[in-house]
């Protein structure tokens, strides 16, 4: 936890003429810590954005451990979501495209990776998610049909993982081209999201 003794001096050194926004950030940092600071969304104060402000404060008042926490948390928060595709081998017959687009979120699931510390933690979560998803849906997705398997990809995995209903990896693929139906209203995609 960073402790700052002479806050007004530090704010001036960071380039603040109006000390109020700087002092508010420093108070928040002292009370809540580095991780909470990076997760918060401070208004731009025309001097330093939140991440750069924190890095400068750590360089001036923190230690190596504080910098490691900063770097690890920043990397964690910048991770892209993983993608889990529920494969039903669906073939379109006469379903309206807007219905397919609306239901796309039921078979194309985004996994928030910010909560995982390791690749193994992420994979364990995905395995459990797959087992629970299959059980909850009784092996079938409305409109899409019977669940054949799941296909997962994130930055930590070089290949697409094909996962069976029990959470076991049954194969890996270098590429996977999924067809998606989507509806856009004013350049915003509209669909149902599967809850994690």
CB contact at 8 A, 173 and 153: no
Domain ranges of the chain: 7-77, 82-190
User: Residue 175's Cα: distance from chain center in Å?
Assistant: 22
The predicted pLDDT at position 185 comes to 72
Q: Which helix (H) or strand (E) holds 33?
A: helix 19-39
The predicted pLDDT at position 117 comes to 86
Q: In sequence order, which residues have a C-beta less than 8 Å from that of residue 64 and are 6 or more positions away?
A: none
CB contact at 8 A, 180 and 104: yes
CA-closest candidate to residue 128, choices 160, 156, 147, 152? 152
pTM: 0.69
The predicted pLDDT at position 18 comes to 93
Provide the 8-state DSSP code for 165: T
The predicted pLDDT at position 33 comes to 92
The predicted pLDDT at position 78 comes to 86
| Backbone torsions φ then ψ of 119, nearest 5 degrees | -60, -40
Q: What is the mean pLDDT of each run of 10 residues along the chain (196 residues)?
A: 86 94 94 91 88 94 92 88 91 85 86 89 96 96 93 90 95 79 68 55
What does the alpha-carbon distance between residue 4 and residue 26 come to, in Å, rounded to a whole number? 8
The predicted pLDDT at position 156 comes to 86
């Amino acid at each position: 936890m960073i402790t700052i003794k002479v806050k007004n001096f530090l704010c001036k050194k960071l380039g603040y003429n109006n000390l109020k926004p700087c002092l508010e950030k420093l108070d928040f940092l002292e009370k809540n810590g580095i991780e909470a600071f990076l997760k918060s969304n401070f208004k731009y104060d025309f001097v330093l954005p939140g991440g750069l402000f924190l890095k400068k404060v750590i360089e001036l008042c923190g230690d190596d451990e504080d910098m490691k926490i900063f770097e690890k948390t920043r990397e964690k928060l910048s991770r892209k979501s993983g993608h889990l595709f529920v494969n039903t081998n669906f073939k379109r017959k006469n379903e309206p495209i807007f219905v397919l687009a609306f239901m796309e979120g039921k078979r194309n699931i985004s996994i928030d990776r910010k909560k995982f510390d390791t690749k193994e933690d992420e994979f364990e979560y995905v395995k459990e998610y797959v087992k629970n998803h299959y059980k909850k849906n009784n092996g079938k997705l409305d409109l899409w049909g019977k669940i054949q398997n799941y296909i997962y990809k994130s930055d930590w995995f070089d290949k697409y993982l094909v996962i069976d209903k029990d959470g076991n990896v049954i194969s890996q693929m270098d590429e996977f081209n999924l067809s998606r139906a989507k509806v856009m209203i004013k350049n915003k995609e509209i669909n149902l999201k599967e809850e994690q």
